[in-house]
A and B are shown apart, each in its own frame.
Chain A
Amino acid sequence: MTTITVEPPALTHEHAEHHEGPTGILKWLTSTDHKVIGLSYMITSLVLFFIAGSMAILIRIQLSNPHSTLLSLQQYNELFTMHGSLMMYLFAGPFAFGGLANYIVPLQVGAPDMAFPRLNALSYWLYLTGSITMLMGFLTASGAAAFSWVAYAPLSDAIHSPGAGSDLWILSLLLTGFSAVFTGVNLITTIFYLRSPGMTMFRMPIFTWNMLVTAILILIAFPVLTAAMVLLFADRHFGTHIFSVTGGGVPVLYQHLFWFFGHPEVYILALPYFGIVTDVIPVFSRKPLFGYKGMVFATMSIAALSTGVWAHHMFTTGVVLLPFFSLMSYLIAVPTGIKFFNWIGTMWRGQIKFDTPMLFCVGFLLGFLMGGLTGVMLASPPIDFLTHDTYFVVAHFHQVLFATAVFAGFAGFYYWYPKMFGRMLNERLGKIHFWIMFVGFWLTYLPMYVLGLKGMPRRVATYPSGLGWHSLNEMASVGAYLIAGSFVFFLVNLWVSWRRPVPAGSNPWDAHTLEWFTTSPPPHHNFVKLPPVRSERPTWDYFHPDALVVAHANGNGNGNGHGTVNGKRPPMSYAKGTDAGIPSAAGSGEPSGEPSGEPGTPPGGER
């Protein structure tokens, strides 16, 4: 009923070899395997992350002194535009829902591949083409796009931003927009149709849940961006006047279209990373996720609310209904708060091991807490009036996005790297990476809040002396250099693991979810066999049949381990060792990987 024996273990190798396609560069060019495509996505997006990060360093060097002339105004405007565009469109999203989700989601639901493997490959190649298209702007005579990542009309029209760089930017968003939509369709179909038997919706890992909700948001948001880009392109080249006042158009319409995409986009970027954290914290706390169903509810609420808050980016336009968008924005704090308390509840009374992925998660929690709280402040229009387009907002969204895409993103990278490559990363180097980045993070963004409140606007290439902005900017720059320096340890770590591999085994973290049941890296079709799926922790249940979830007895704790083992959740009743489908832990039912990957030994008692 629940154990899926795809092939007898003896046939594993033959089976795998049967699917050996081309190797080397041809494999990367022609593969439709979700793992290869996922890795392509991750490598591409990390390269773009480092390019965009280098731009940030140039920006910080420029701003570390008033009257700086390192960069011209035009160069600065191009750099901050491309920094934002690369980070938002080409790194943070694709790294998570193109890279990690592509690799991990089919494994977590026990599927052999994505639902549409060739569409998946098309997504990647569209994404790569779009990324190159955007970067090619630097090679044009008029330079790259210089109208910021939001490209407000009429600044982005043919009169105010002539030049091929702007057109390449628009085309890039068209290409990557289709890529995102295809990946979204693929993820939704995979999650709805390719779950293994027993994997009900409410047994899916939260990472998969979040990817599902993200994919739905992509289908809501990205077509609107694509439409806006088509309209913008038509305004530039075909003489339409959709966003131009002189032709009877409405400039503010562009802002509505953009932010109708743009705010769900913030959660398209954030939710996958929440998913990573929600997968990692329980594993390193040796506990189930606290409030699993509340977490799913919170994710869906965030997604639903995020479609109704877009005009909080437009409070200072003077032409939006302030109370409605303010209230909706405030309300998003509630499900986000639920997530925080669930993460804390998961660590509560756990046995927390601070390996590198968990350290990055704690960095995420603290960074996102401050970014989130300042975000709640910005939900208030009068407070937005005094901070809008200042460095206060820059500090706020950098804290949010850095906490998610970088802290949580690298938590995911350190966590799944052993699965993807079958080798461990060095713990000491990983921790040095974390601590330098953690210090740099606070040193960079705390001064920016103060700068914003003192009145420093964002997107300025230079600023006056004598306003008390200099030393704060210097601090922020030093912090940025620290962040950049921390990545040296990351790259050294990759190099070390490549030159002197430490085998990871199939389940080095004693993790919960299905991807840790197969070998590292997984074979071509992912699984030779699957464990029974009786909860959202099938791998854990398999290795720890004595440590199943206990339903919480309200009032006093259910200390003696009797009675309500999974009692509240009927399909999960787990009669130890009696179900024919469940091999005993020491029996023949080991996953195809070596069992030595499992650290420690499961203790006998339930508690």
Chain B
Amino acid sequence: MPFVLGACRLPTFFGYRGATTQAHDSHVLFAGTVITAIVVGVIVTLLILWSVFRYRRRSEDMPKQFQYHIPLEITYTVIPIIIVLVLFGFTVVTENAVDAVAPNPAVAVKVTAFQWGWRFDYTSQHVEVIGETTEDPDPVGLNGSPCAPAVDCLGPGLVLPAGQTSRIVLVSADVVHGFYVPAFNFSRYALPGVTNVFDFTVKHPGIYRAQCTQFCGLYHALMFFHVVALPPAQFRAWVRSEQAASHPAPSIAAAKRALASASGKAAS
């Protein structure tokens, strides 16, 4: 599609070019829409400013009292219709690409949002990561060093393989939360009673900060997490180390957690 091919040179307009393949399509649509909006905005602004400066009252002459010009009115009805229909066409194409889910993702992660933190379950690998804002298990800041105020920490990490398709299965344990990764140009509600499914194909290894966007109560502002994209080999190594670390033996705590998880499933 030429629309996408010519896209890499589009300016970002303060946004993100997109760290996933899906995000790139959104970026292209965003940039194209901004350009359209700028063109329309500049034209209309110039018309307003021209009227304001050119037709300033300079005399008491009575201006001509005209009121209708049907061809002109039809023109400025039809042209906007065409513009929005074209934008709508690109929107449909892009949203289908962004929302498309692969038949066989490399890894599937069940993400549970709760007041106030995140839990990432690698169900097939029997690995889980939990982080709460009030007791961050791994207080690391943006620069990699330990972080002092909670607000500068990154929160729990969602580890994904780079270059492969990851499936996210998003649920909420209590109220509505927003799963938002700015660099992925994507957000989705974690809605109680609804299971949302979407894919990310992270293009390059890296750390991408993220946080809850839907207001969810007292600690909403501190409900951070981050995505860590690792090369596939390192990702597999991470999984093995977590399996060894997090499942030494069944414990009462683990049993309780499993029970809570089961009742959560029953509710949904």
B47 touches A352 (CB 8 A): no
Interface size on B, residues (CB 8 A): 95
The reply to whether the CB of A503 lies closer than 8 angstroms to some CB of chain B is no
Partner of A352, one of B44, B51, B192: B51
B51 touches A344 (CB 8 A): yes
User: CB-CB < 8 A to B211: which residues of A?
Assistant: 457
Q: How far is B175's CA from A147's CA once the two chains are assembled, in angstroms?
A: 11
Most buried by B among A73, A380, A603, A607: A380
Partner of B182, one of A290, A352, A381, A455: A455
User: CB-CB < 8 A to A374: which residues of B?
Assistant: 37
The reply to whether the CB of B128 lies closer than 8 angstroms to some CB of chain A is no
A334 touches B81 (CB 8 A): yes
Size class of the contact patch on chain A: 35 or more
| Least distance between A403 CB and chain B CB atoms (Å) | 13
Q: A316-B189, A388-B178 are in contact. Are A352 and B67 (CB under 8 A)?
A: no
B67 touches A289 (CB 8 A): yes
Binds B, one of A4-12, A322-330, A484-492, A521-529: A322-330
B221 touches A351 (CB 8 A): no
Chain B window 167-182, contacts with chain A (Cβ cutoff 8 Å), 1 for yes, 0 for no: 0000000111010101
User: CB-CB < 8 A to B8: which residues of A?
Assistant: none
For chain B residues 54-103, which have a beta carbon within 8 Å of chain A?
55-73, 76-77, 80-81, 83-85, 87-88, 91-92, 94-95, 98-99
The reply to whether the CB of B215 lies closer than 8 angstroms to some CB of chain A is yes
| Least distance between B13 CB and chain A CB atoms (Å) | 7
The reply to whether the CB of A428 lies closer than 8 angstroms to some CB of chain B is no
A550 touches B66 (CB 8 A): yes
User: CB-CB < 8 A to A73: which residues of B?
Assistant: 218-219, 221
For chain A residues 84-123, which have a beta carbon within 8 Å of chain B?
none
A388 touches B176 (CB 8 A): no
B65 touches A323 (CB 8 A): no
Most buried by A among B87, B91, B142, B219: B91
Measured CB to CB, the nearest residue on chain A to B268 is: A245
User: CB-CB < 8 A to A15: which residues of B?
Assistant: none
Chain A window 458-484, contacts with chain B (Cβ cutoff 8 Å), 1 for yes, 0 for no: 111111111100000000000000000
Measured CB to CB, the nearest residue on chain B to A293 is: B68
Q: A389-B213, A454-B182 are in contact. Are A337 and B76 (CB under 8 A)?
A: yes
A388 touches B213 (CB 8 A): yes
Q: How far is B56's CA from A217's CA once the two chains are assembled, in angstroms?
A: 37
The reply to whether the CB of B235 lies closer than 8 angstroms to some CB of chain A is no
B194 touches A319 (CB 8 A): yes
A551 touches B80 (CB 8 A): no
Q: How far is B16's CA from A461's CA once the two chains are assembled, in angstroms?
A: 24
Chain A window 331-358, contacts with chain B (Cβ cutoff 8 Å), 1 for yes, 0 for no: 1011001101100110111111110000
User: CB-CB < 8 A to B201: which residues of A?
Assistant: none
B76 touches A155 (CB 8 A): no
The reply to whether the CB of A24 lies closer than 8 angstroms to some CB of chain B is no
Measured CB to CB, the nearest residue on chain B to A66 is: B151
A250 touches B193 (CB 8 A): yes
Measured CB to CB, the nearest residue on chain A to B23 is: A386
Q: A366-B45, A385-B98, A454-B182 are in contact. Are A351 and B63 (CB under 8 A)?
A: yes
For chain A residues 191-231, which have a beta carbon within 8 Å of chain B?
none
Q: A152-B175, A288-B65 are in contact. Are A340 and B57 (CB under 8 A)?
A: no
B25 touches A382 (CB 8 A): yes
| Least distance between B142 CB and chain A CB atoms (Å) | 5
The reply to whether the CB of A369 lies closer than 8 angstroms to some CB of chain B is yes
A466 touches B152 (CB 8 A): yes
Q: How far is B172's CA from A316's CA once the two chains are assembled, in angstroms?
A: 14
Partner of A251, one of B59, B151, B193, B198: B193
Q: How far is B63's CA from A603's CA once the two chains are assembled, in angstroms?
A: 10
The reply to whether the CB of A557 lies closer than 8 angstroms to some CB of chain B is yes
Q: How far is B62's CA from A601's CA once the two chains are assembled, in angstroms?
A: 10
User: CB-CB < 8 A to B262: which residues of A?
Assistant: none
Chain A window 555-570, contacts with chain B (Cβ cutoff 8 Å), 1 for yes, 0 for no: 0010000000000100
Q: How far is B219's CA from A77's CA once the two chains are assembled, in angstroms?
A: 10
Partner of A453, one of B15, B62, B80, B187: B15
User: CB-CB < 8 A to B219: which residues of A?
Assistant: 73
Measured CB to CB, the nearest residue on chain B to A68 is: B151
Measured CB to CB, the nearest residue on chain A to B170 is: A318
A245 touches B193 (CB 8 A): yes
B187 touches A463 (CB 8 A): no
B215 touches A607 (CB 8 A): no
Measured CB to CB, the nearest residue on chain B to A359 is: B52
Q: How far is B73's CA from A160's CA once the two chains are assembled, in angstroms?
A: 53
The reply to whether the CB of A584 lies closer than 8 angstroms to some CB of chain B is no
Measured CB to CB, the nearest residue on chain B to A456 is: B182
Measured CB to CB, the nearest residue on chain A to B28 is: A382
Measured CB to CB, the nearest residue on chain A to B83 is: A333
The reply to whether the CB of B29 lies closer than 8 angstroms to some CB of chain A is yes
| Least distance between A144 CB and chain B CB atoms (Å) | 14
A380 touches B91 (CB 8 A): yes
Measured CB to CB, the nearest residue on chain B to A156 is: B175
User: CB-CB < 8 A to A362: which residues of B?
Assistant: 48, 52
B215 touches A148 (CB 8 A): yes
A–B pairs, 11, beta carbons within 8 Å:
A154-B174, A316-B187, A377-B30, A380-B33, A380-B94, A383-B91, A460-B220, A460-B221, A462-B222, A464-B152, A607-B61
Q: Interface of B with A (CB < 8 Å)? A: 13-16, 23, 25-27, 29-30, 33-34, 37, 40-41, 44-45, 47-48, 51-52, 55-73, 76-77, 80-81, 83-85, 87-88, 91-92, 94-95, 98-99, 115, 141-143, 149, 151-152, 174-176, 178, 180, 182-183, 185-189, 191-194, 196, 198, 209, 211-222, 267-268
Q: Interface of A with B (CB < 8 Å)? A: 66-67, 73-74, 76-77, 146-148, 152, 154-155, 160-161, 245-246, 250-252, 285-294, 316-319, 322-323, 326-327, 330-331, 333-334, 337-338, 340-341, 344-345, 347-354, 362, 365-366, 369-370, 373-374, 376-377, 379-383, 385-386, 388-390, 449-450, 453-455, 457-467, 544, 546-552, 554, 557, 568, 600-603, 605-607
Known: A382-B98, A389-B214. 14 other contacts (CB 8 A): A77-B217, A155-B217, A161-B217, A322-B95, A330-B84, A334-B84, A344-B44, A380-B95, A382-B25, A383-B29, A453-B16, A455-B183, A460-B220, A554-B69
